[in-house]
Amino acid sequence: MKVQTKRTISMSSSLAYFVLSLVINSAGNVLTLVTSSKIHPSYLGSAYWTAATANFGAALHWNLFWAFIIVGILTIILNSVLVGSFSWKRAIGNMLFMIPFSALIQVFADFFLGRYSNIFSGLPEATNPLMVFLYILLNFFGVVLIGTAISIYQRVNLVLHPADDLMQILRFKYFKGRAATAMWISYVPPTVLAVIALIITHNFTNFGLGTIFAFLFQGGVTGIADKWVFPKLKHQAVDVGKVE
């Protein structure tokens, strides 16, 4: 698949798209976490990378911020192997994405879980079918937000989270632009982390219906959003190394 290697939008537009997508992604990730806590983390779950990272961090007694940072660094190393070379520019860009993203994850988690407000902590537990259905819909909506945000900042390609950079490398280098296929393959590393966490803790939380929904449809949501959310925004300055 032919990909665009030059940037055709201004830096101000790129920054605006990036900031918007960063907030959408952070809010979506935390929405999956807090809604699952209202039912049971093992029943509803959260987005796939989020679930695996949260479990891995809990197994090693890290908070969400440090869990996302360390897992991100490991993914940067994997991406360099797949591209075939190490780029400080790319690695620094990944880090520039990770730090505010990881901080926003913690801020949104504190906000929704009651440290700064009672928006979600004040809502009732899912003790009846209607509330269960509501939280499931909100959880799935969180996954949709994540997939949409990924679409926006992958097309902007200013800086990327290492996990989304991994998906983009796989998408354009190995799978001819197929977003869903690339997303599924990119789930191999978090699966490994989840297995390690399970071995350490013998506990398997944040994996459930929402995680299955994310696994099956998040990549497809990204592909759809490419066409329908800011449709004039095309993939900018894609660099995935030599295309297979």
Range of the domain at 135: 11-228
The enclosing H or E element of 17 equals helix 11-39
What is the pTM (predicted TM-score) of this model? 0.81
Burial environment of residue 6 by CB neighbours within 10 A (0 to 12, 13 to 18, 19 or more):
exposed
Question: Under 8 Å CB-to-CB from 70, ≥6 apart: which residues?
Answer: 62
CB 160 within 8 A of CB 174: no
- Domain-located, residue 5: no
- Domain-located, residue 71: yes
Token couple for 114: 């009651």
- Domain-located, residue 236: no
- Domain-located, residue 242: no
What is the C-alpha separation between 177 and 158, in angstroms, rounded?
19
Token couple for 80: 């360099």
The pLDDT confidence band at residue 4, using thresholds 50, 70 and 90, is low
pLDDT tens-digit readout, 72-128: 899 999 999 998 888 888 899 888 888 777 777 777 767 666 555 555 555 566 677
Is pLDDT at 161 greater than 80 in this prediction?
A: yes
The reported pLDDT for the residue numbered 51 is: 81
pLDDT tens-digit readout, 169-215: 999 888 888 888 999 999 999 999 999 999 998 877 777 888 889 88
- Domain-located, residue 186: yes
Best CA proximity match to 72, nearest among 172, 211, 166, 147: 166
- Domain-located, residue 237: no
pLDDT tens-digit readout, 21-80: 988 987 887 787 777 767 765 577 767 887 888 889 989 988 877 888 899 899 999 999
- Domain-located, residue 64: yes
- Domain-located, residue 17: yes
The number of folded domains in the chain is 1
